[in-house]
Each structure stands twice: as C-alpha cells, then as structure tokens.
Amino acid sequence: MHPSPTKDFRAKEFRYSSFFFTGITGLATYLIVALLGVVLVNIIIHGWPGLSWRFVSTIPKKDVFDPATTGILPMIVGTTIRVVVMTVFVLPVGVITAVYLTEYAHNTSVMTRIIRTAVNNLAGVPSVVFGLFGLGFFINFVGHNLDLVFNNGEQAWGHPSLIWASLTLAVMTMPVVIVATEEALKAVPPGLREASLALGATKLKTIFKIVLPQALPGILTGGILAVSRAAGEVAPILFTGVAYYMSDLPTHLTDQFMDLGYHVFVLSTQSPNIDQTQPILYATVLVLLILTFALNIAAIFVRSKMRRNMRSLH
C-alpha cells in the first residue's frame, strides 16, 4: 500500500488560514454526526424502559393510549406485510429495468436518457404526492374499475387497503432498486460475459447464469434499502390504506392495516395525556428505528462486502 500523492505533497510552511478552515469544516462534519448521535441516544434512553415482550406482542383491545394494556403487534405486522408485498412488485420491475439499462441499451441513446431522467424524477417526487397518486390512480381508477367489471359496482377493491398502499410504495421505491442494481451490474467484469459468450452461451443465458448471480449482493442491497425506506414512510399510505385503529390483524390484501410510523404520528398528536403516553411513544419510535436501522446497516454491510469481492475479481 503506497501512500496517495496528495498526502505526501503537502505545503511546507504551516498556514493559519488552512489550519483554521480545515478545523471549521471538520467541526461541521462532527456536528452532523453528533446530531445523529443525539437523536439516537435520546430515543434509546427514553425508549428502552418502555420496551417489553408484552408490549411488542399484544394486540390493543380498546385503548391504544393506555400504557398498561396497549401493544404494537398489529402495527409491526401491518408494516411488515406492506413492505413484503411491495418487494414482490418492485424487485422484478426494478431489476429488469436495470438489466435493460446496463446490458441491452446503448449508453448514449435517447431512450436510455429518457428512462434515466424518469427514474431520477421519480426519486424526487414528494411522498405525499405519491399518496395522492395512490388515491387517484389505484383506488379511484384501478380499484373502482375492478369493482365495476367483477363485482357489479359493489365495493371490494375501490377503497384504501394493503394492496394499494403496497403498490404505491412500490412505485416510490423503484428508483432505489434500479440504481443499486445498476451499480451491481456495472461492477461485474466484462471478461466474465465475454468468457460465457465465447463458450457459446446466448446473451439471455449469460445474463441469467453469469451476470445476475454475480450481482446478487448488489440487488439484495437495493432490495434492503427499498424496504428500509418504505418501512419508515407514512405520507404515501395516509390515504391509501392505513387505519387509525383495528381490533384484529389484517387477513386479506383488501383489508386496511395499522402501521408503526403512522402509530408514532397518532401517539404524538392525538394523545389525551401526553406525559402518560410518552413512554409508549418513545418505545414505538425505538422499535421503528431498530427495524429501519437494522436494514440500513445490513445494506451497508452487504455492499461493502460486495465491493471487496469485486475488487479481487478485477
């Protein structure tokens, strides 16, 4: 390991301006990390005492604000189901789009540029607009027309439910999967593809048998990041499926559901006695944070491992 050139070629004399500004920018960097630290420590300290097995495994029977009897099992189940259903839809579409962009399309063609622009724009659409889209498209258009065709106008699909919330989230997280998969596919050495083709494999076989298996960790990273992003989002599901209270777990895709993030919102704003509900509020936030952070850290871990493997292949 030889040192990088910029590290060795330092100015000889000591300069106060350089020292000062390096300090200032370094301080800003530490401040950001400290802010993250404060948020995490505050939530862990206040949330930990409220956390118990009873709390995470209880279905609240009537009053979600009563610290002694309430629980968050239906919220955990609801959030889990909606991200699982979302993954089923978003992974194939995202991966196939990335395969097209890296393996089939020409980098400079107009079509590729339009697709890339669309993906970037999709990533920038505000989450509440996704909620409006889910309501306007999936519920009022798709759901309503399904009812008209299959149910003689009786309402079975045209109302907020798990399936529509999941589909809305799938549209929202598509860019995450596409970008991560693309990165993974680009990291597969061209030599592997050439070797496979030289042995007589077709292009499709090469993609399925050689390229995709090599890129699997990257695709996994994309999936995990999408799930983590979707698990914490509340705005897109506000009008597309989340329920304020349900006495039972959802059993069908057309049921409404309770959600961890939305429950945090409910506990923060609707509580009749803030001091009394604060411990369960903090505990709920902690559970949500553990869920999303575990996924995020897993993604970072898988990605760094993948990069190391790739480096040894090149």
Partner 1 sequence: MSENNNQTKPDRQVWTGIKRGQSWHPVEWVAEKLIFLVSLTAIVMVFLIFAFVTREAVPLLLGQINSAATQTVIPLADMDKTPPEVLQAYLELTPEQFASMDRDTKLLLMQTKLDAAKEAPDDKDARINTTEWRYLFWPYKWTGYDQPSFIWQPVSTIKKYNIVPLIVGSIKATVVALLFAVPLALAAAIYVSQLARPKFKEVIKPAIELLSGVPSVVVGFFALIVIATVLQKMFGYESRLNAFVAGIGLGFAIIPVVFSIAEDALTSVPRSFTQAALALGASRWQAAWQVVLPAAIPGVFAAIVLGFGRAMGETMIVLLASGNASIMSWNLFDSARTITATIAAEMGEVVAGGDHYRILFLIGSMLFVVTFLSNMAAQLVMERLKKRLEGKA
Interface of this chain with partner 1, residues 97 to 126, rule: CB under 8 A? 97, 99-107, 114-115, 117-122, 124-126
> Per residue in 77-116, is it b (16+ CB within 10 Å) or e — as a string?
bbbebbbebbbebbbeebbebbbebbbeeeeeeeebeebb
Q: Rounded CA gap, 229 and 206, in Å?
A: 32
Interaction between residue 128 and partner 1 (CB under 8 A): yes
Interaction between residue 221 and partner 1 (CB under 8 A): no
For residue 233 the two structure tokens come to: 């989002």
Interaction between residue 273 and partner 1 (CB under 8 A): no
Interaction between residue 129 and partner 1 (CB under 8 A): yes
Query: Which of 55, 164, 239, 257 touches partner 1 (CB under 8 A)?
Result: 239
Q: Which amino acid is at 73?
A: L
Q: Rounded CA gap, 242 and 186, in Å?
A: 38
Shortest separation between residue 165's beta carbon and partner 1, angstroms: 14
What is the DSSP code (8-state) at residue 105? Answer: S
Shortest separation between residue 84's beta carbon and partner 1, angstroms: 18
Considering only 48-56, 57-65, 214-222, 293-301, which stretch makes contact with partner 1 by CB under 8 A?
A: 293-301
Shortest separation between residue 150's beta carbon and partner 1, angstroms: 15
Sequence-ordered list of residues with C-beta below 8 angstroms from that of 104, at least 6 positions apart, any chain? none
Q: Rounded CA gap, 73 and 77, in Å?
A: 6
Shortest separation between residue 19's beta carbon and partner 1, angstroms: 8
Interaction between residue 165 and partner 1 (CB under 8 A): no
Angle ∠(182,216,192) on CA atoms, nearest 5: 80
Site for partner 1 in 45-84 (CB under 8 A): none
Query: Is the CB of 22 or the CB of 57 nearer to partner 1?
Result: 22
Shortest separation between residue 295's beta carbon and partner 1, angstroms: 8
